[in-house]
Chains A and B, each alone.
Chain A
């Protein structure tokens, strides 16, 4: 399974033609205590780089963008019920939604873990 990262601090993990998307541990540390998430409904078609979900911390609201294009197959209901999972398990149980990939080649433009780590260190 490949895990890729965006400059907007989303991660995407691909298993076959289904991609699981969430925000990175760095993103959650910057957001602070998350109190609300709004996730896309199953069946919604998302376009790479466009708004896909909303995450609100005590401090502020932030958009989560689709790292790749595709159709939502599942949203993480457990995260809606307990938004603090974004803080406690950003890159595991705190996933946001799963997408049926439209074009796997879009993944090629994203960063791998080492490149993302360097990006975070360089820009912050």
Chain B
């Protein structure tokens, strides 16, 4: 191994990935499985058809406690956290003073605390940000003794019910404290594939037992980061650092649905002035789905031109969608060219590739709403 490789962190499932024949790559400072012997295409299709198990232990799990952690967190994010009922979860964004996105995260009301899941590459800075801004208002604990897995796909519920019967009736974006083969787990009915499924938070020491139990079910295959990316792209979900970052606002990022009425009216979160103005007057550019014609994928940083050949933006995520059976992408275009159906030209390897603005998701989401 090279020096760089030895410096990488590992998850509690690392030995299992290697045993399963995974191809390991560096990702956000961790040595992670990009694919298993099945390959990205089949792993993707398997998740859409049956169930896939993902190791996402590199992500940050954070506990927020205090007198009123919801009120405290609302000073940093535009979501309705005070109105989040116990046992429910919500997607929101850490914003900077310019309305740019510092990270995206899931927030769960776990009763006596808020449970946050943040991106691996941002977790150290998110924790520092929380500790600095919420000093005296909330206690911030990075739960680095926990592992996180995701079980995703149309058969995820059936499989999970064999171990945790009460998981079957959980609604999309809800939380459950449960027992899996005698060990404590936190389940949320959520994920990053557009499919029904769960994220499973557990003690590091129990992760391999749980993973082996789930992989022992005939419907379940181990799925790597490669298929995780193609699944989320087809589902129209943003990848932080690519589709959204500190230079994009929630309005530019087409994430207005994360800005509820009360917060739009009251403000009280970073970048409110800019975001309020963009909500009223519109933003100059917008994130859209993009469907290239033909079969050639258009990758990240591909230049986008309008019908006159003027550069109007670039692709931020792009690849081949195995379920869509076609290349799929998303990127930013000027607002004049952001309507679904607008013809665009992508410059791929110096050649023009016709494309159009497309509605997302590229494949229907299949969440369980009870």
Contacts and interface: CB of A to CB of B under 8 A. Distances in A.
The binding surface of chain B is classed by DSSP as mixed
B39 A36 contact: no
Interface residues of A, number: 13
B41 A33 contact: yes
Nearest to B349: A54
Given A32-B39, A32-B40, A33-B40, A58 B320 contact: yes
A61 B299 contact: yes
Contact of B35 (A32, A54, A60, A61): A32
B297 interface: yes
A57 B226 CA distance: 11
A56 interface: yes
A83 B294 CA distance: 13
A38 B294 CA distance: 12
A99 interface: no
Given A58-B41, A59-B40, A59-B226, A35 B35 contact: no
A36 B349 CA distance: 14
A98 B352 CA distance: 26
A36 B40 contact: no
Interface string B134-169: 000000000000000000000000000000000000
Contacts of A83: 295
A33 B39 contact: yes
A61 to B, nearest CB: 6
Interface in B39-90: 39-42, 44
A58 B40 contact: yes
Given A32-B39, A33-B40, A58 B295 contact: no
A34 to B, nearest CB: 9
B320 A36 contact: yes
A96 to B, nearest CB: 16
Contacts of A35: 41, 295, 297, 320, 327
A89 to B, nearest CB: 16
B296 interface: yes
B73 to A, nearest CB: 37
Contacts of B197: none
A59 B224 CA distance: 12
Interface in A19-60: 32-33, 35-36, 38, 54, 56-60
Contacts of A61: 297, 299, 349
Nearest to B322: A58
B319 interface: yes
B109 interface: no
A107 B136 CA distance: 73
Nearest to A81: B295
Nearest to B325: A35
B297 A36 contact: yes
A32 B40 CA distance: 7
A118 to B, nearest CB: 22
A32 B296 CA distance: 16
A93 B328 CA distance: 28
B230 interface: yes
B226 A32 contact: yes
Contacts of B39: 32-33
A36 B295 contact: yes
Nearest to A33: B41
A26 B230 CA distance: 24
Nearest to A60: B299
B296 A56 contact: yes
Interface string A77-96: 00000010000000000000
A43 to B, nearest CB: 18
15 contacts: A32-B35, A32-B40, A32-B41, A33-B39, A35-B41, A35-B327, A36-B296, A38-B296, A54-B349, A56-B320, A58-B319, A59-B40, A59-B226, A61-B349, A83-B295
Interface of A: 32-33, 35-36, 38, 54, 56-61, 83
Given A35-B320, A58-B230, A58-B320, 17 more contacts: A32-B39, A32-B40, A32-B41, A32-B226, A33-B40, A33-B41, A35-B41, A35-B295, A35-B327, A36-B297, A56-B296, A56-B320, A58-B40, A58-B319, A59-B319, A60-B299, A61-B297
